[in-house]
Structure 1
């Protein structure tokens, strides 16, 4: 069993099924008599809806119904609520307008759903959708994050002056100002964290139905956790939770975007109940650009105070965070409580203050995207630190070493209330520089110059808070033949949960992976769950699993003792067998399971549940070291070398971790160099609504990634895990931009905003050349 236990780099057990077409995604699920939904969406960013005429659509072939907000209102369907509102600095509540599933009286972004057409086939539904005549009275719109609060800008919500949703703060503002007044140097930097689209391989989809016989409302949905969604629907439909069954089958990526509730799910379930037959909706890619929640979108002014030796004295951050037209489930939580505490980073900064103002705009809602606040914090901090190093004349490596929290200080209480339980930031940095041959950088720069290229190197260090989101529950059932079924409330989105959980069970129970089944994503079979997000699934769910497995072993040991005619205290369990200590008398796992099953025919041999609540966060941390080359004649940037050193605590499967790092780094490179959502500033139209205009990173854009794991076990969970799912996307954007700024420093360029597209880089270079020529 050690070949498939904890710490082994075994291939994913789910891949054979998925790679041979055996996956069952939401769109693969079909029910007898199902109809199809198509949504009429607003072509305007902001407009009053003055009339809806659905007569022509209702007369079209195959059309069963057309529903609008009036129909949902008449049925008592409630709004989609923000699940994490925040309080303002004066402790008043933030603005929290309600989001209807279908627009009521006014549309507030392009793609806002106005009506839903239900028809016998998907083509009939889409054809009839074009026949719904909606009358609009267009209003002025606002789409820019930094301009939303400017005087005279159109209001997204009449009751929200200046489009300000909240004005939130964290830290010691007076202490920061005093530190700035006494500082030897103060360095400032303005930053933009560009808006991105998650773009998972599998778009959003749902299939709604009414269960025959019980009348329960059933929803198959591509999600990151069914239990939280079911709770929301209970409130929206004003029915007890037991009147719903939610199911998520295989999921082709989520990246945070599939945590949330969406209007299409509410409308589909309403339609299924009204018609008494199943209703399916599957998003097209262009529809996803218009209707999926987006990520990031911050405008920030950051300031750092330093003493004469380059030690950090204080940091002040003022951020405007775009919420979009509506508050998504966790939108306000991301730039506030998730981002701000991590502005401490890996450093011993004595005092910090962060002010975050959330703004409404006539754009899609913004919520968690891989990392959810932690990438925004790391980008802000690591760009600020690098910029400060260049401004005061200290090497970027040295300024970090000078300010790191030392390993000897762990556990370390930060000035913003976090407690880092473990980590060695200096070792991560040293190892990354050694692996990336930082010492040979000058020679590589010279070689690049001979080839007409500019080469630069950038580092970023990061730490993130993971494994929150409430308790997790795991139930381990053992059949009479020794086979094991795990019921757990997390939800795999492609991370390899099935393999990781099987490794923990193999380690704890000595059961081979082929004898283990993992059940997720069904509120009937799994009674409780907090879902997947924030790298919590294996650290939190795995801890619950390990505890429930331990309970099974304790029960099984008593049965084994009876079979062996020995006292339970004299029975030892190891490698799938129970042995009387000091003898060769033993019984196998399967023999014990068979014996236990005879005591209660028809019931599991053993069934044990454990619910585990993390006492605090875990803190994955690490260093990224990146090198880029720039063609000054075209502005093209190539990432030519990439090194990552991570501390994820105890690692269940190094192969799974490497896959998470690769994927996260790819997404971070995409944001740094390519990805950007663009709205027309006058009309609010989405200008990057397809892959013709929105560039995702391709294989050729990602270099080989050298990886080293410095695993310092976490002290906050029994397995010592910290989490690995988001780290790659956290450390990579600042590392890439720091490397690019280093390459462009020959022109005196000190900052480049993301995404550093060839056009943007070329324009900066040309502006420098023009200025130099003028001098």
Structure 2
């Protein structure tokens, strides 16, 4: 199966279906007798609910019910829990206030759901929702990340003084302070990681129902994993998990945001059970801006201690992380355990200490967004090191060379508790510089200068921890005709899982892709799984299915031995043939399957659950080149080169596509995307694509990608993961390039997003300083 196996650039097998309208997304699901939900959302960032009058709405034609939190509580449905396990510096638990599916007593951000209307048509539901009269008593609000901690600011929750959810630390503070005190030089930088909205092509949606035959609750929902949601729903509705079925069909992008449980899903399940009819809800784009979990939103102060030769002695990072008004499923985990351990980066740093304060604000909840804490860590570290390279005169490349962890040190135990198994960081850098032709940059700068433009190049290395989330399970079922059904607990969100899994099975069993069916996203068909996130699907899920395939071969060898009239130990399997060692006697995989399933049913069915012994560590180097118009502040990314180490690559086309998409998101955050709230009213000012600028095709340059793959030692296939790498490396590379372009103005830092206005203002401030001098 060399044509289809591991390492081959096979076109995605799912694309023909998806590109010809054969996809089935959650909004495509329609059930007999279906009704429609419309949510009444708060227009205030912070207010007391004095009363809700739903009489006019309930009396409208087609309206079947108007429900509030009182209705949910009457049926024993409590708040949506936060699942993050976290202890504060003093060992105490963090503040975890309740998150009711519909607001109780007070609303805490614009868009907070207050009530739901269910009607026969979506138009009737929306019209009636506008007639629900809510008596609000407006309260002062706070939206700023750092401002939330200031004395006298409005409290989002009374039980969280100064809006502090947690005060957390990791590392050795005393060792870092000692390093800072003895350092030849200390470099310091304050860094903002701007809040963004995921904005997948497919918005959130669900269709909830009650099975007439069994009374089971069923929900079709756009998600990143059905089993975790089923567990949450079961607890909320006080039901055994077998009393629920959760189904996810095709998904048009997730980026972390679709991993979580949301109020709308709980409410639609409740309404379906109450009305005994299916209830459908699909978010419009602005509704998504108001109700989807957001990402990032950190403000950090970082200090790096260096010796006289520019080698790192210690790093201290103090971060304030905005969690929003409610704690999403994993909100506190993202700025703490998920990201802070990666502040070592690819470098030898003897001592690291990080302290994170999580704060409540009157904004949408914040949780994982592509990379989930690792992009935040990499951006901070790579901006700080670039700054240090300029401050010391060593330059961005040399300061990294001096501090890289060498290949000879692998496996390398970091001071933050990780053990890197493999990686050649120096080679990635050198190849990245060559791929981007950094040697030719001075000539390109001069040519740009002659045109009245500023040109600059920036680099960033990265390393991230992937394959978390625990075990994954795969069932490899071989039918009597030799066709294979793979049932696996991950959930594709558009990454190409179907193709990758088929390639692994083709490699292991010698079966062509057209004879393989991949089943995901149905708790009835897939008994267990941990879902998709953290680039775990192919490294962890692929390892599970590879083990399942090996068990199939072992069982099938016994059947082949009978057919070949020999002992099983004398049978070898290769390229779909079972052969007697040293002879030309063989039988095909299909012949063995037919023998094992004499009745034409299932020949073999093997379940394998694989638990990664440690994380994997994808790493690489990004080099961006930008051009700036100093008269307007417009920044154009004119060149982009990437060198990545993803370990074993199942399909180069898939991973390069993932890199391209991640880089596009990273460029968007670096130069364009930002969630803005009015500081006085708390209103979301960037609640549509008229106000929130996503990157477009014209904003993305051609991207060169080179793979320097060193296999991982922590899984049998040697894979490391590729899904988040582009979004991790791009923001620091682009901002480093912009700072290089603006260096002649004495500009040493600019925060994301570096919009034309921000760049133009920075240039004008420099000009004013020069004039004053």
TM-score range, shorter chain: over 0.9
3-state SS in 2 of match to 1:533:
coil
**Aligned match of 1:556:** 556
Per the alignment, residue 91 of structure 2 pairs with 91
Matches within 5 A, 1:105-504: 105-504=105-504
Match of 1:752 in 2: 750
- Specify the SS of the correspondent of 2:148: coil
Query: How far, CA to CA, are the matches of 1:301 and 1:580 in structure 2?
Result: 67
SS in 2 for 1:625: strand
Q: Bigger CA drift: 82-91 or 31-40?
A: 82-91
Residue 26 of structure 2 corresponds to 26
Determine which of 636, 639, 652 is the counterpart of 1:638: 636
- Are the aligned partners of 1:296 and 1:366 in contact in 2 as well (CA < 8 Å)? yes
Structure 1 partner of 2:676: 678
Q: Deviations over 1:313-350 (max 9, x none)?
A: 00000000000000000000000001110000000000
Residue 12 of structure 1 is matched in structure 2 by: 12
Deviations 1:413-455 (A, max 9, x none): 0011100000000000000000111111111111110010000
> Residue deviations 1:737-756, cap 9 Å, x none?
00000000000000000000
Does the 8 Å CA contact 2:42/2:110 hold for their aligned counterparts?
Answer: yes
Correspondence 1:513 to 2:513: yes
Paired position in structure 2 for 1:547: 547
> Per-residue deviation at 1:513?
0.5
Q: In the alignment, which residue of structure 1 is the partner of 2:652?
A: 654
Question: Is it true that 1:618 corresponds to 2:616 in the alignment?
Answer: yes
3-state DSSP of counterpart to 1:386: helix
CA contact (8 A) 1:85 1:94 kept: no
Q: Measure the CA separation in 2 of the matches of 1:141 and 1:658.
A: 44
Report SS of the residue matched to 2:3: helix
Structure 2 CA distance for partners of 1:527 and 1:199, relative to 1, 3 Å: same
Structure 1 residue 171: deviation in Å?
Answer: 0.1
Out of 745, 748, 771, the residue aligned to residue 769 of structure 2 is 771
Aligned length: 773
1:168-192 Cα shifts (integer Å, max 9, x gaps): 0000000000111100111110010
Q: By how many angstroms is 1:559 displaced?
A: 0.3
Q: Which whole-Å CA distance do the structure 1 matches of 2:278 and 2:601 have between them? A: 34
* Residue in 1 that maps onto 2:703: 705
- The separation in 2 between residues aligned to 1:639 and 1:164, in whole angstroms, is 39
Give the whole-Å Cα distance in 1 for the aligned partners of 2:205 and 2:289.
14
Does the 8 Å contact 2:540/2:611 carry over to 1?
yes
Q: CA deviation at 1:574?
A: 1.0
- Tell me how far 1:586 sits from its aligned partner: 1.1
Q: Is contact 1:472-1:540 (8 Å) kept?
A: yes
> Contact 2:481–2:600 at 8 Å: present in 1 too?
no
Shift of 1:603: 4.3
SS in 1 for 2:147: coil
Instruction: Give SS of 1:605's match.
Output: strand
State the alpha-carbon separation in 1 of the partners of residues 297 and 395 from structure 2: 30
TM-score (normalizing by structure 2)? 1.00
Once the two structures are TM-superposed, the CA of residue 359 in structure 1 deviates from its matched residue by 0.1
Asked whether the 8 Å contact 1:78–1:235 carries over to 2, the reply is no
The CA deviation at 1:270 is 0.1
What is the CA–CA distance in structure 1 between the aligned matches of 2:650 and 2:123, rounded to whole Å? 46
1:168 is paired with a residue whose SS is: strand
Whether contact under 8 Å (2:594, 2:600) holds in the other structure is no
Over the aligned positions, Cα root-mean-square deviation in angstroms equals 0.6
Contact 2:382 2:461 in 1 (8 A): yes
**What is the deviation of 1:85?**
3.8
Q: 2:726 aligns with which of 725, 728, 732?
A: 728
Runs of 4+ in 1 over 2 A off after TM superposition: none
Instruction: Answer whether contact 1:85 1:96 (CA < 8 A) is retained.
Output: no
Partners of 1:488 and 1:77 in 2: CA distance = 31
CA distance, structure 1, for counterparts of residue 158 and residue 169 of structure 2:
25
User: What 5-or-longer segments of structure 1 have no aligned partner?
Assistant: none
Whether contact under 8 Å (1:474, 1:489) holds in the other structure is yes
Cα distance in structure 2, aligned partners of 1:563 and 1:295: 58
Deviations along 1:275-299, one digit per CA (max 9) or x if unpaired, are 0000000000000000000000000
Secondary structure at the aligned position of 1:4 is classed as: coil
Check if 1:80 corresponds to 2:80: yes
Q: For residue 223 of structure 2, give the secondary structure of its aligned residue in structure 1.
A: coil
Cα deviation, 1:535-584, whole Å, max 9, x if unaligned, reads: 00000000000000000001111101100101111111111111111111
Q: How far does the alpha carbon of each residue in 1:184-234 deviate from its partner, in whole angstroms, 9 at most, with x for none? A: 111110010000000000000000000111100000000000000000111
Identify the residue that residue 532 of structure 2 maps to in structure 1: 532
Question: What are the Cα deviations for residues 602-639 of structure 1, in whole angstroms up to 9, with x where unaligned?
Answer: 74100001000000000000000111000000000000
